[in-house]
Amino acid sequence: MKRWLTAATVLTVAISGVVFWQATSKSPLLRLGVPGQWVWKYDHSPYSDRAVYCLAGAALLGWLCYTTRNRAQELIGGRVSLFLLGAIGLCFWIQATFPYVSKHAYGQAVLWMGTPKANADFDEACKAGALADLLKEYQDPNRPFRIHISTHPPGPVLFYVVQKRCWEAAPEAAEHFVSAMQLILPFAAEAQKELPRQLSSIERATLYSSMLLLWLAVALGVVPLYFWAAEMFGPPSAVVAVAFYSLTPSFLLFNPMTDQLYVPVSVALLALYHLGLARRDPGQLAFAGALTWLALQFTLAFLAVLFVIAVQVGLEIKAEGRARDMLRLLAWAGAGFVVLLLLFLFLPQRYNCLVVWKLCLANNAQFNLGRTYLPWVIYNPIDFVLFLGVPTAVFFVREAIVILRRRAEETQWRLVVALLATIALVNFAGINRGEVARLWMVFMPVAAAVAAHSFRPREEEEEPERDWTFPIAYGLLFVQTALFKMSLDLLLPVS
């Protein structure tokens, strides 16, 4: 374990240090990405002192998870609820303070979301007319190709449309909300001057409420993550998984961004299917099917999550031979999915999601043709490792090797095999050529849970509270995330 911690320390310090150093250089020699197609833009932040706000929240969460892990046998009943409430609050704190570290701080980070280049979904929502017309447009095969809009179902746009319509119904409340948020968020009012057009109070209220909802969504993700990981790996590992999840670099760099919504939904899908099958709960599986339909209205990246689940189920059927029983249970999930599909198909708006998904797949294939295959197949795993978090990635590799070799727990073995097979398939199929740090966020909570299993208290540890391996790894993860946030800024266009 100490050798793995040493490796994590050396790699984290070296990689984070180089990225930070290159960000301060006028002529950086090293860029992350594939030159000529897509690379990360360095943007050194002069506000490193603001990281103290992030550090305070991260330190409190680390202390909460460390003390709870060492007393996991007491984590029953109301204590689980108290732990999760504390974790949600501190995760929200971390989400809310990290944008303040970047060069452009809160105001510009949020209002930058209102520009067409940065947030096509919001821009589309501002132009949207009747809901029926919007849904009809997404089903039109002759619609001109536009990056992001053409490769995604209407869910991301509807996320903003629904909020905008709510604020339009209460314009005075929108004015008060904007005033309050501009008092809370530094530089918010000044940032408005740098936008290509002045946003209305309704539009600004929509952006501010979106930001709060995105932070809350990520924070609430600790609930399904904890219950799923506790069932899969045990409560001590689940507690550590919550800590690693909260400091995952991708979740804090792409902040605030619509993609943050996909993280808690992916965890919820894993939890609902796994726990529903384990407990033979038809209601839970029917809800999982309905959530599957809803998730696929946002992005087809959830097909990868479903593939992980399908491989797990297939391996379980092969090992235990309960095919009929398993399929009978999964029929409830299918029913929940089909009910929503048919319901929207026969509504007056007539929304045929099958047509939309087919168009999205075709448009994504068209987009990928503009990028070469081999460089991205090589670079994608590097991007995944870096933005999962180097310490998390190191201990993920360690625990995956242990699980695959020993095969002591079949459910854990099936999960690791399913995850690795899915990542390999997605990568070598050339489905995602670039931007893996954002597109593969749906895999990161699973990888964090596997890595967390390395830090479960061992029976041979007479005094587990003296084991500093987890706090050191958690501290390294904070250092990397903070340095990356101060070095890589999404506000600037990629070169």
Q: Which range among 98-102, 114-118, 149-153 shows the weakest confidence by mean pLDDT?
A: 114-118
Q: Are residues 183 and 250 in the same domain?
A: no
Residue 224 has pLDDT above 80, yes or no: yes
Q: Are residues 135 and 259 in the same domain?
A: no
Q: What is the DSSP string of 364-429?
A: HHHHHTTS-HHHHHHHHHHHHHHHH-HHHHHHHHHHHHHHHHH--SHHHHHHHHHHHHHHHHHHHT
Given a contact cutoff of 8 angstroms between Cβ atoms, the answer to whether 182 and 189 are in contact is yes
Q: Is residue 494 part of a domain?
A: no
Q: Are residues 159 and 301 in the same domain?
A: no
Q: Which range among 108-117, 409-418, 478-487 shows the weakest confidence by mean pLDDT?
A: 108-117
CA distance to 26, 233, 316, 406, 444, per residue, from 415 (Å): 45, 11, 10, 14, 13
Given a contact cutoff of 8 angstroms between Cβ atoms, the answer to whether 287 and 337 are in contact is no
pLDDT at 189 (0 to 100): 65
pLDDT at 47 (0 to 100): 74
Q: Are residues 164 and 239 in the same domain?
A: no
Residue 77 has pLDDT above 80, yes or no: no
CA distance 495 to 488: 13
pLDDT at 104 (0 to 100): 59
Look at residues 360, 240, 213, 354 and name the one whose alpha carbon lies nearest to residue 300: 360
pLDDT at 109 (0 to 100): 58
Helix (H) or strand (E) holding 101: none
Q: Which range among 10-14, 189-193, 394-398, 406-410 shows the weakest confidence by mean pLDDT?
A: 189-193
Q: Are residues 281 and 419 in the same domain?
A: yes
Q: Are residues 227 and 348 in the same domain?
A: yes
Q: Is residue 101 part of a domain?
A: no
Cβ atoms within 10 Å of 17's Cβ, excluding its own: 13
Residue 9 has pLDDT above 70, yes or no: yes
Q: Are residues 226 and 209 in the same domain?
A: no
pLDDT at 182 (0 to 100): 82
Q: Is residue 87 part of a domain?
A: no
Q: Are residues 227 and 285 in the same domain?
A: yes
CA distance 270 to 67: 27
Q: Work out the average pLDDT over 4-19.
A: 94
pLDDT at 164 (0 to 100): 93
Residue 457 has pLDDT above 90, yes or no: no
* pLDDT band with cut points at 50, 70 and 90 for residue 493: very low
Query: What is the pLDDT of the chain when averaged over all its residues?
Result: 87
**How many domains does the chain fold into?**
2
Sign of CA dihedral 285, 239, 405, 409: negative
CA distance 453 to 236: 8
Domain, as residue range, for 168: 108-213
Q: Is residue 489 part of a domain?
A: no
Q: Work out the average pLDDT over 421-431.
A: 92
Tokens of 58: 């991260």
Domain-ending residue, one of 213, 240, 256 = 213
Q: Work out the average pLDDT over 398-406.
A: 93
What proportion of the chain, given as a percentage, has pLDDT over 90? 55
Q: Are residues 423 and 458 in the same domain?
A: yes
Residue 34, classed as helix, strand or coil, is strand
* pLDDT band with cut points at 50, 70 and 90 for residue 193: low
Domain-ending residue, one of 213, 229, 260 = 213
CA atoms within 13 A on the CB side of 90: 24
Higher-pLDDT residue of 232 and 42 is: 232
CA distance 393 to 338: 37
* pLDDT band with cut points at 50, 70 and 90 for residue 10: very high
pLDDT at 492 (0 to 100): 47
Given a contact cutoff of 8 angstroms between Cβ atoms, the answer to whether 50 and 186 are in contact is no
End-to-end distance of the chain based on CA atoms, in angstroms?
A: 40
pLDDT at 134 (0 to 100): 87
Q: Which range among 68-82, 183-197, 247-261 shows the weakest confidence by mean pLDDT?
A: 183-197
Domain-ending residue, one of 174, 192, 213 = 213
Q: Work out the average pLDDT over 148-170.
A: 90
* pLDDT band with cut points at 50, 70 and 90 for residue 470: very high
What proportion of the chain, given as a percentage, has pLDDT over 70? 91
Look at residues 279, 272, 278, 275 and name the one whose alpha carbon lies nearest to residue 336: 272
CA distance 122 to 125: 5
Q: Is residue 442 part of a domain?
A: yes
CA atoms within 13 A on the CB side of 132: 6
Q: Which range among 22-36, 51-65, 458-472 shows the weakest confidence by mean pLDDT?
A: 458-472
Q: Are residues 350 and 411 in the same domain?
A: yes
Q: Work out the average pLDDT over 406-422.
A: 91
Q: Which range among 57-71, 103-117, 155-169, 277-291 shows the weakest confidence by mean pLDDT?
A: 103-117
Residue 462 has pLDDT above 60, yes or no: no
Q: Which range among 35-39, 183-187, 357-361, 401-405 shows the weakest confidence by mean pLDDT?
A: 183-187
Q: Is residue 13 part of a domain?
A: no
pLDDT at 494 (0 to 100): 36
CA distance 195 to 197: 5
CA distance 415 to 312: 6
Q: Which amino acid is at 273?
A: Y
Residue 93 has pLDDT above 90, yes or no: yes
Q: Is residue 295 part of a domain?
A: yes
* pLDDT band with cut points at 50, 70 and 90 for residue 243: very high
Tokens of 291: 């959530």
pLDDT at 114 (0 to 100): 62
- pTM to 2 decimal places: 0.91
Q: Are residues 280 and 163 in the same domain?
A: no
Q: Is residue 342 part of a domain?
A: yes
Q: Are residues 124 and 180 in the same domain?
A: yes
